[in-house]
Structure 1
Amino acid sequence: MKDQRTPVVLIHGLWLHSSSWRPWTELLHAEGFAPVAPGWPGEPDTVSAAREHPETMAGAGIAEVTEHYAAVIRTLPTAPVLIGHSFGGLIAQKLLGLGLARAAVAVDPAPIKGVTPLPLTQLRSASPVLRNPANRSRTVSLTAAQFRYAFGNAITPQESDALYEAYTVPAPGRPLFEAAFANFSRRSPAAVDTGNAGRGPLLLMSGRRDHTVPDVVTRATHKLYRDSTAITDLERLPDRGHSLVVDQGWRTVADHALSWLARQGITAGL
């Protein structure tokens, strides 16, 4: 019998393991959806294995990650809803622009080609990777202090350190280099079809205290969609940092996403 539940594909960003979506998948299951949270190409099944074998994820870029999730989508019975965080939000926008999804929610999405603001907090958050060109072909780990600045600045140091221990893994450096130089590349993999009027609805969500993807960056992304007649909404969440999908306030973010989907007429049943 065909599964009548609406599929949801959850796409994480750099430095978090796919298991960080577990509270979301449990909630979505309870709400009647059919969620899946695949890892990135080469990502081991557990946090400990990813830390022990960081080389398995080295070299993966935006195009490879996009195709990896496109392949996942092709196995589903119908076009899914996408929910992506950080670079996962960029990937979700690319897949939506390609017509592979019913709708997408991009939470604190990494900047797509055409975004020009470059706040100092964003530069500092990315500096562990970008300061060494050799990191383009490597994986890079964050220290607990770097994670507190990039992800955990809006929560207590104790909660930030607990999230660091539970979910952080080494991340490929290539996507950060690709996004950083997107506006200087004619065929940047960070480009998104923002003019596609036939795509499904898109919600951009911004944590207004985010250091890694500051609010001004998400607002600039929203402006790039101004020539499309497709639904593109922006929701700005006060007092939230980049950890907003995994910290103790994750349920508020999830509830905002589910309420927005309901307003688009997208429910758990097909």
Structure 2
Amino acid sequence: MSPAALEVIDKGSTSPAHPVPLLFVHGAWHAAWCWDEHFLDFFADRGYRAVAPSLQGHGNSAATKPLRALSIADYVSDVCAVAESLPTPPVVIGHSMGGFVVQKFLESRDIPAGVLMASAPPKGYLGSGLRWLRRHPWHFLKLSASGRSLAYVSTSSLARERFFSPHTPDDLVTSYAARLQEESARSGVDGLIALPRPKRVRAPLLVLGAGHDGAVTAAEVRATARAYGTEPEFFPDLGHNMMLEPGWQVVAERIHAWLGDRGF
């Protein structure tokens, strides 16, 4: 089957100070737009080439099969395709489900470094699913039966609970919630069984967490960092969508500094 035609937002260019491109991978229900709000311009303005694809079936990307059947392996293939289109191997930055995809990508790819932002942990989605079941049992049962989950994350109140901190302005939460779209049911199942293998990963990783994360717990962030032999860093005032929250600049600055320390 031929690869999907992917929407790719590509800004800036590499520079002597930052010769390695950055590849940003979005999470579930999102698309490349979540990086384009702030992060792509931030890094492009500092001399990086910053590239964000919409995974197939998301944003304006085509898909090789129905959305409900898209797997984590399909998403990894999308990241591979974009990475291989770049002149040099990129630093890969993944958020939430995108962090899970990045972990799977890194098992078989030798790249300079990676960043995991509020990432699903190597042990997968079981903890997240159980928390969802406890918080909203009827929602969880309905989405499990139908394979459709958008309705249970896309109202302003549910989006705030999962993605944003209590102090994020209502208008931002409402506008971002309206941009969410349906996610693959198959990818959710893969998050339980197609687990990353951290021992295969050689790239150094920066692992970041948020203090008001309604999707990933601090314990899961610590477990992710431990699996990759590093220490996590937390932003106590931010919610799960660290790249969209007011205060996103502190996250971008930390990534910028970490990359600079490594000559990227």
Q: TM-score range by the shorter chain?
A: 0.7 to 0.9
The 2-side partners of 1:125 and 1:102 are apart by: 39
Partner of residue 229, structure 1: none
Matched, 1:266 2:263: yes
The 1-side partners of 2:240 and 2:75 are apart by: 21
Matched, 1:212 2:222: no
Matched, 1:161 2:174: yes
Kept after mapping to 2: 8 A contact 1:125/1:146: no
2:52 counterpart (14, 37, 42): 37
What SS does the corresponding residue of 2:105 show, helix, strand or coil?
helix
Residue range with higher mean Cα deviation, 154-163 or 7-16: 154-163
Partner of residue 132, structure 1: 143
C-alpha RMSD of the superposition: 3.0
What SS does the corresponding residue of 2:161 show, helix, strand or coil?
helix
User: For the structure 1 residues 67 and 100, does the alpha-carbon distance in structure 2 shift closer, same or farther, using more than 3 Å as the test?
Assistant: farther
Pairs within 5 Å for 1:72-87? 72-87=82-97
Between Structure 1 and Structure 2, how many residues are aligned? 243
Matched, 1:12 2:26: yes
Aligned-pair distance for 1:17? Answer: 2.2
Matched, 1:202 2:205: yes
TM-score normalised per structure 1: 0.78
What SS does the corresponding residue of 1:25 show, helix, strand or coil?
helix
User: For the structure 1 residues 26 and 156, does the alpha-carbon distance in structure 2 shift closer, same or farther, using more than 3 Å as the test?
Assistant: closer
The 2-side partners of 1:70 and 1:63 are apart by: 10
What SS does the corresponding residue of 1:150 show, helix, strand or coil?
helix
TM-score normalised per structure 2: 0.80
Partner of residue 8, structure 2: none
Q: Deviations over 1:92-147 (max 9, x none)?
A: 122223224211101000122378755964556796466433444x5634332211
Partner of residue 27, structure 1: 42
What SS does the corresponding residue of 1:68 show, helix, strand or coil?
helix
What SS does the corresponding residue of 2:232 show, helix, strand or coil?
strand
Matched, 1:68 2:78: yes
2:239 counterpart (233, 238, 241): 241
Kept after mapping to 1: 8 A contact 2:114/2:203: yes
Aligned-pair distance for 1:224? Answer: 2.3
State the AA in 1 paired with 2:118: D
The 1-side partners of 2:106 and 2:216 are apart by: 20
Any unmatched runs of 5+ in structure 2? Answer: 1-12
Pairs within 5 Å for 1:55-134? 57-113=67-123, 121=131, 123=133, 128=139, 131-134=142-145
User: For the structure 1 residues 44 and 239, does the alpha-carbon distance in structure 2 shift closer, same or farther, using more than 3 Å as the test?
Assistant: closer
The 2-side partners of 1:115 and 1:20 are apart by: 22
Q: Deviations over 1:227-251 (max 9, x none)?
A: xxxxx34111112211221122211
The 1-side partners of 2:241 and 2:75 are apart by: 21
Aligned-pair distance for 1:177? Answer: 2.6
The 2-side partners of 1:122 and 1:31 are apart by: 39
User: For the structure 1 residues 63 and 130, does the alpha-carbon distance in structure 2 shift closer, same or farther, using more than 3 Å as the test?
Assistant: farther
Q: Deviations over 1:144-188 (max 9, x none)?
A: 2211111124333513223223x3222223222322x33xxxxx2
Percentage of pairs with the same residue? 28
What SS does the corresponding residue of 1:195 show, helix, strand or coil?
helix
Any unmatched runs of 5+ in structure 1? Answer: 183-187, 227-231
